[in-house]
Chains A and B, each alone.
Chain A
């Protein structure tokens, strides 16, 4: 590994200042599970590494009307948190399907998002939950819908000096459901070939019919960034969930994917899997307990 300067600031302001000073040559360190691998391989050779681990504010996980999830919260903490398991089971389930126990005890939700991998598992369910990114700069702050946070593979919307402080997730209303399914080659320690998150606000329309007041379908690992399948959402929104409509929505979601061929799967398979994963999750909503 190349030598670098190491900082451990105590406040977001200080961290932001150092990161701004070093610009593209500075890297923030949270869990380090992506950063250190790249540094060891020589893919990244930052001059400065800024640890965020002394900044207590980044580690908060609080429910104040909505869930405020500090960027420095680890996947393991999400899995163990009563709030996440009670109100947002999809987050705990998603985190438990990422990497292995050792990595999950270090890896953070903010790191997973800032790393901006097209297959980042935390992104689709958080976008489906309507999450917003709380960003702090040296002398400003801003809030972005999470779906706008991703710019390209490995690229996020932060400018040098900005830090992802927290994720805000609205408290779900009654009749709200959210799920995420990723297709993997193996049952653990793997990255999604394709992933789909579905969220829906449902109401009973007739006896056994569910009406879809609102819906989000978010695709992972099949485009440069996690993206919503808006045409598929469109034909469901405000309508009753019927098999025909679900089949059509799944087909549309597949058509909205922009997958590539790589070592994890070919484009045709990924597209096909988007259809299958979308359909299965929507079908499950037809019998969701209301």
Chain B
């Protein structure tokens, strides 16, 4: 052991153990057979069903709420309103309350809630509540919301502009004057939603000491304690959060939602456990969706193919309340300023209140948006330079051990390898003879094209909060069972098994000897939450430290038993042995010997990891936010029907620098799942919102790609052995879906010669662009 505080990064030495093995997820059988207990499966004796009455008017003063008839309905146990249960302000913008008392600011606003003996009764009670509104003028376009005299959403805020992010490095303004080639365009990005398989839920119960237990789909159990405390005035130490098996989340669970404190209020009002389970329709309109963005972007390069400058100006629609989603510009600016070497960059984003539904965080946290417009413009620059898009990207790619002007300290970096692999495997070479290839299709009206796009992601945590830490303990019992108690959360990503692999490797035990406990704030050590692709990296480092600590204790005692120094020992396959002479003692026996002796003790190791990173400077937004960075390149081949505009993605190669694959199967799973979301973002997914109302809140008209819509995906894992990552691993959770839409847009251009700057690129939009492109071409050839 050369450095006791850091796990090996896997470079050089071949790991003999479980790291890098394709072992199935520990929870795979339970999930596949339906045994796993999800939140909706949890019931308690006497539990009531909670339901919420939503405003369904976008902006209004509440004149009166008449609950008398609902209260009288048989089976109703409580009806609460903002008047009889005011709650306190909470949320990232401290602008929301559980139930609204005086005013509603969007159609989702929670006006009243009911607890009843069953769902039908609760629904019937909602219908009996009469709310009188005095409607106010509403504003749905964030640009209009910024105009003087626009309806004001929050009277205690100075304006509808919640905040402006203003970042620059170099001298972007003048750089565009000195550039040889400039491209410029407007981009329009839609609302999309997480579509987690499990809808959100909350179950709240008080014990007779008045202590609260909350079962939740949250991604931030410890922050939820704090947020609920803030919203309800219950001390955090009296709140316990339990996370049952969670059926996906993708950023939805990063904020506390009003329905959560409302569930608690209903439990308080009735003295009974209360559960609120979102219907799928509620999931569609009451989740905090990825925010839409209106973007003006320009990019510049020099004749020799050097990327020269970028400038992006964004208006982001936060909706009626601010969530952690308002912080996504921090990630967006990272792509604009630091994906490739960018000498000059400017990024301005206004986060604006409107009367639309509140938006929030979703997988990639701003990166899918900014990678789309940034990477489409990389292609446009290459075209204008007359340079091959792959060559242009390779020339400007980030390299290992460089610091970007933004202050990102890039250490391991496989971007060039990713680009090369993706291009080669998609058959980029044959694109050289591109004109013939474009017409090599089965039908005369179909064109073929290939495209590529890259991504830069945080891969070593992200210091969005003041702490980016995670705690872990590892205890060993009498029988050699090793239990990792980690602060981190499993939401389906597979981190639980990856952490178990790290602990098994560190301790020298078998994977099946390791149990992972990660679901109860009263048991597990603190952690900031599952987000930013951080769990394997951060919780992995913490788990490794805890395992090392426990191992040290076992070796120290085994050394006494075998009468050698601890350095002379090794653990492997449940045995502690002396390296030189092979004398040995069983691993579990060492632990038992510690328990059953005078002055005995027990084995428990602890580990805390908070990466060596910084919060960005609050004025310049510079600083090294992550301890490692992940990279990737995706290349796609598409067919475009020139008469219907329909795009078919045939093949996609996803080459990603994951540092080291603790379990290649999960890395591939994360990337393929990301690609699926990326294909949806590119081609079919869009929440259509008019006057603050979602027009398509069903999976029929909100179109997640089906298996038949998905291309053949070839995943290539590039292993660069990160110096800080556990066994060299970097985060991989989000980047699979980040470059997909841009790669597809670039392939559509290759096939058709038209640029799409609005997502999703539906058949209708592609056809409209083709027709417009043809008419432009026609008018240009006219004398």
Could you say which of A41, A186, A191, A266 contacts B764, with CB atoms under 8 Å apart? A266
Task: Flag if B708 contacts A185 (CB, 8 Å).
Answer: no
CB distance from A259 to the nearest CB of B (A): 12
Interface flag for A183 (CB, 8 Å): yes
Q: Assess whether A1 is interfacial by the CB under 8 Å rule.
A: yes
CB closest residue in chain A, given B643: A276
Partner of B646, one of A1, A183, A191: A183
A162-192 residues at the B interface, CB under 8 angstroms = 183, 185-191
Range for the number of chain B residues in contact with chain A: 20 to 34
Surface stretch bound by A, among B224-232, B694-702, B749-757: B694-702
* Residue in chain B with minimal CB distance to A99: B700
CA distance A266 to B765 in the complex (A): 10
- B671-708 to A contact mask, C-beta < 8 Å, 1/0: 00000000000001000100000011001110101111
- Residue contact B709 to A191, C-beta cutoff 8 Å: no
State whether the Cβ of B584 lies closer than 8 Å to any Cβ in chain A.
no
A273 CA to B643 CA, complexed, in Å: 8
Chain B residue nearest in CB terms to A100: B706
The contact of B688 among A186, A193, A263, A272, by CB within 8 Å, is: A263
Q: Is A231 an interface residue (CB 8 A)?
A: no
Question: B695 contacts which chain A residues (CB < 8 A)?
Answer: 263
A189 touches B706 (CB 8 A): yes
Q: Tell whether, in the assembled complex, residue A183 and residue B709 are in contact, meaning their CB atoms are under 8 Å apart.
A: no
A186 pairs with B709, CB closer than 8 A: yes
Contacts of A269 in B (CB 8 A): 763-764, 767-768
**A264 at the binding interface (Cβ < 8 Å):** yes
Given known A-B contacts A185-B762, A185-B763, A272-B767, A1 and B684 have beta carbons under 8 A apart: no
Contact status B696-A263, CB under 8 Å: yes
Query: For B768, what are the chain A residues with a Cβ–Cβ distance below 8 Å?
Result: 269
| B440 within 8 Å of A (CB atoms) | no
CA distance A191 to B646 in the complex (A): 15
Within 8 A of B (CB), among A249-290: 263-266, 269, 272-273, 276
Kindly supply a per-residue 1/0 record for chain B positions 635-665, scoring 1 wherever the CB is within 8 Å of any chain A CB and 0 otherwise: 0000000011010000000000000000000
Identify which of residues 1-46 in chain A touch chain B, using a CB-to-CB cut-off of 8 Å.
1, 41
- When distances are taken between beta carbons in the complex, the residues of chain A under 8 Å from B762 are 185
Q: Are B706 and A188 in contact (CB under 8 A)?
A: yes
Q: Mask for A82-125, Cβ within 8 A of B = 1, else 0? A: 00000000000000000000000000000000000000000000
Contacts of B477 in A (CB 8 A): none
> How many angstroms from the CA of A61 to the CA of B782 in the assembled complex?
62
Q: Which of A186-205 contact B (CB under 8 A)?
A: 186-191, 193
Q: Once the chains bind, are A273 and B703 in contact (CB under 8 Å)?
A: no
In the bound complex, what is the Cα–Cα distance between A267 and B281 (angstroms)? 27
Which chain A positions have C-beta within 8 A of B701? 263-264
Assess the B644–A273 pair: CB atoms within 8 A: yes
> Could you tell me if B767 and A187 are in contact, using CB atoms closer than 8 angstroms?
no
- Cβ of A187 and Cβ of B120 under 8 Å apart? no
Query: How would you classify the secondary structure of chain A's contact residues: helix, strand, loop or mixed?
Result: loop
Give the distance to chain A from B107, nearest Cβ to Cβ, in Å.
Answer: 17
Min CB–CB distance B636 → chain A (angstroms) = 17
Contact present for A185 and B688 (CB under 8 Å):
no
With A and B bound together, what is the CA distance between A70 and B708 in angstroms?
Answer: 31
B581 to nearest A CB, angstroms?
A: 64
CA distance A183 to B643 in the complex (A): 12
In the complex, are the beta carbons of B700 and A191 less than 8 A apart?
Answer: yes
Distance in angstroms between the alpha carbons of A265 and B281 in the assembled complex: 22
Q: Is the CB of A188 within 8 A of B644?
A: no
Are B688 and A1 in contact (CB-based, < 8 A)?
no
- For residues 411 through 464 of chain B, which have their beta carbon under 8 Å from a beta carbon of chain A? none
CA distance A1 to B705 in the complex (A): 30
Q: Given the complex of chains A and B, what is the CA–CA distance between A264 and B701 in angstroms? A: 7
Known pairs A1-B120, A266-B764; A185 contacts B703 (CB<8 A): yes
Q: Note all chain A residues with C-beta closer than 8 A to B709.
A: 186-188
Pair A187/B696 contact, Cβ less than 8 Å: no
Q: Which residues 110-150 of B have a CB within 8 angstroms of A?
A: 120
- Chain A CB count within 10 A is highest, among B646, B699, B705, for B646
CA distance A283 to B767 in the complex (A): 21
CA distance A264 to B767 in the complex (A): 15
Judge whether B684 and A185 touch: CB under 8 Å.
yes
Interface contact A187-B643, CB-CB below 8 Å: no
Q: A112 to chain B: closest CB distance in Å?
A: 15
- Residues of chain B with a CB closer than 8 A to A265's CB: 764
A265 to B646, CA, bound (A): 13
Once the chains are docked, how many angstroms separate the CA of A190 from the CA of B646?
Answer: 14
> In the complex, A273 Cα to B644 Cα: how many Å?
7
Taking the nearest CB of chain A, how far is it from the CB of B217, in angstroms?
A: 23
Look across to chain B and name the residue whose beta carbon is closest to the beta carbon of A189.
B706
Interface code B762-780, partner A: CB below 8 Å = 1, 0 otherwise?
1110011000000000000
Q: Complex: how many Å from CA A191 to CA B699?
A: 11
Write 25 A-B pairs (CB below 8 A) sorted by A numbering.
A1-B120, A41-B281, A183-B763, A185-B684, A186-B684, A186-B706, A186-B708, A186-B709, A187-B708, A187-B709, A188-B707, A188-B709, A189-B699, A189-B706, A190-B700, A193-B763, A263-B688, A263-B696, A264-B701, A266-B764, A269-B763, A269-B764, A272-B767, A273-B644, A276-B643
Q: Which 9 A-B pairs have the closest CB atoms?
A: A187-B708, A269-B764, A188-B706, A276-B643, A188-B708, A186-B709, A263-B696, A187-B709, A263-B695
Interface residue ranges, B against A (CB under 8 Å): 120, 281, 643-644, 646, 684, 688, 695-696, 699-701, 703, 705-709, 762-764, 767-768
Apart from the given pairs A183-B644, A190-B700, A263-B688, 13 other A-B contacts in the complex at a CB distance below 8 Å: A183-B646, A186-B684, A186-B708, A187-B706, A188-B707, A189-B700, A189-B706, A190-B703, A265-B764, A269-B767, A269-B768, A272-B767, A276-B644
